[in-house]
């Protein structure tokens, strides 16, 4: 159970912010994970980034064999699949918002990355608070943002990728800061995570009925196990909340993955739709005295929700090189990946590591989205 004194620290770092920790200061900053250091990538060194075209993967790379910087206990790579097999069942369209100013959001083809239509957020939305979520039917989406209160809008994307107009959702006023949204599989229920105070609200969209749990600031919402559970990050753990059990406290949620596993840091995590697997962004701790272009410093890892043990490395993250004009901050550095939305099958994930892309059953393909050094973003498909 979630301990009643396990309250998150104020100003929790945003989960969608790339993190770069200088190797020289890893020991001094271990466990804090609150800094964001913008690193200018050296185009001649591995880890230089940019938006690639679909089917062309440079960095990050598929999971590889461990190097001296990777512990032998880290999980093996997922089986390598062909593009046609990996792409099977992938959602047709995705939407990403990473603009620092309010602007139309492109609806893009998941296969090619080509823009098809746009969604215009309502005037008055704070662009830094925009969140998007999608149902499993590849059609229904919800957009939320903060004005004076949290406002919510529903829209649909047609089979040809055309976005409909936004329709306001009729809900009671919701206060606080919007941490996340999650539509269930059939689009009938919307989960809303807020802080100040921390709560999860479950809204039945057909009736407007609301159920609320309070007790901790939740992040990274996801429906799982046939929509019987909601997973969320709160404090120092990933939890699963049984929505069919009576009660109003988030402290009743069961812990399923701690923030530290075998001394490695879990930067982001989400329970898979089947309730049996967890997808997590991991930063390895024991990296050795010196990093180089072959050092595996973390990546996207699949865990068993039953045993809490890692099963497969779906995407390996390597060290990258930064050049500083003054010469004081030059060198190899560690960066973590940020998870976007996992699709209804659990096989397809929007993710940003050194570049934004989709991860299909362990096969990475870069597609248009936020740059490697951009901060907050929200993505759904």
DSSP 307-334: T--EEEEEEEEE-EEE--TTSSS-EEEE
pLDDT of 353 reads 83
In Å, how far are 14, 15, 175, 273 from 378, measured between CA atoms? 11, 10, 20, 19
Domain total for the chain? 1
* pLDDT tens per residue across span 229-280: 999 998 889 999 999 999 999 999 999 999 999 889 999 899 999 999 999 9
pLDDT of 90 reads 95
Q: Is residue 190 included in any domain, yes or no? A: yes
pLDDT of 70 reads 39
Q: Is residue 36 included in any domain, yes or no? A: yes
Q: Is residue 11 included in any domain, yes or no? A: no
Q: Which domain holds residue 105?
A: 20-380
Q: Is residue 314 included in any domain, yes or no? A: yes
Q: Is residue 93 included in any domain, yes or no? A: yes
Contacts of 5 (CB under 8 A, 6+ apart): none
Q: Is residue 13 included in any domain, yes or no? A: no
User: In this model, does residue 38 exceed pLDDT 70?
Assistant: no
> How many CB atoms within 10 Å of residue 270?
26
Q: Is residue 2 included in any domain, yes or no? A: no
Q: Is residue 327 included in any domain, yes or no? A: yes
pLDDT of 323 reads 75
pLDDT of 66 reads 39
Selection from 226, 199, 220, 223 nearest residue 211 by Cα: 199
CATH assignment of the domain containing 95: 2.120.10.30
* pLDDT tens per residue across span 113-170: 999 999 999 999 998 899 999 999 989 999 999 988 899 999 999 999 999 999 999 8
pTM assigned to the model: 0.79
Mean pLDDT score, 199-216: 93
Measured between its terminal Cα atoms, the distance across the chain in Å is 32
């Amino acid at each position: 159970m979630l301990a009643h004194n396990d309250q998150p620290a104020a100003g929790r770092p945003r989960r969608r912010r790339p993190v770069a920790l200088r190797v020289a200061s890893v020991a001094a900053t271990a466990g804090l994970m609150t800094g964001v250091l913008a690193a200018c990538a050296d185009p001649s060194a591995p880890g230089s980034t940019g938006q690639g075209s679909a089917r062309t993967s440079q960095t990050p790379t598929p999971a590889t064999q461990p190097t001296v910087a990777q512990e032998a206990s880290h999980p093996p790579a997922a089986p390598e699949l062909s593009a046609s097999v990996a792409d099977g069942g992938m959602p047709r369209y995705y939407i990403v918002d990473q603009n620092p100013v309010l602007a139309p959001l492109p609806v893009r083809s998941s296969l090619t990355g080509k823009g098809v239509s746009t969604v215009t957020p309502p005037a008055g939305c704070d662009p830094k608070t925009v969140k998007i979520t999608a149902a499993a039917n590849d059609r229904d989406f919800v957009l939320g943002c903060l004005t004076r209160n949290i406002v919510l809008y529903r829209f649909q994307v047609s089979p040809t990728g055309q976005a409909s107009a936004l329709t306001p959702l009729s809900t009671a006023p919701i206060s606080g800061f919007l941490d996340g949204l999650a539509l269930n599989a059939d689009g009938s229920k919307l989960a809303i995570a807020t802080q100040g105070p921390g709560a999860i609200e479950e809204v039945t969209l057909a009736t407007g009925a609301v159920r609320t749990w309070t007790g901790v600031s939740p992040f990274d919402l996801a429906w799982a196990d046939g929509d019987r559970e909601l997973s969320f990050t709160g404090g120092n753990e990933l939890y699963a909340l049984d929505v069919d059990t009576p009660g109003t406290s988030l402290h009743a949620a069961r812990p399923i993955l701690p923030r530290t596993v075998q001394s490695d840091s879990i930067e982001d995590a989400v329970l898979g739709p089947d309730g049996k697997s967890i997808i997590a962004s991991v930063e390895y701790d024991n990296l050795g005295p010196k990093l180089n272009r072959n050092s595996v410093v973390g990546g996207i890892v699949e865990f068993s929700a039953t045993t809490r043990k890692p099963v497969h490395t779906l995407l390996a993250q390597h060290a990258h090189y930064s050049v500083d004009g003054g010469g004081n901050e030059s060198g190899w550095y560690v960066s973590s990946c940020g998870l976007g939305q996992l699709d209804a099958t659990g096989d397809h994930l929007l993710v940003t590591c050194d570049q934004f892309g989709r991860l299909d059953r362990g096969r990475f393909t870069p597609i248009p989205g936020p740059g490697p050094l951009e901060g907050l973003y929200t993505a759904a498909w």
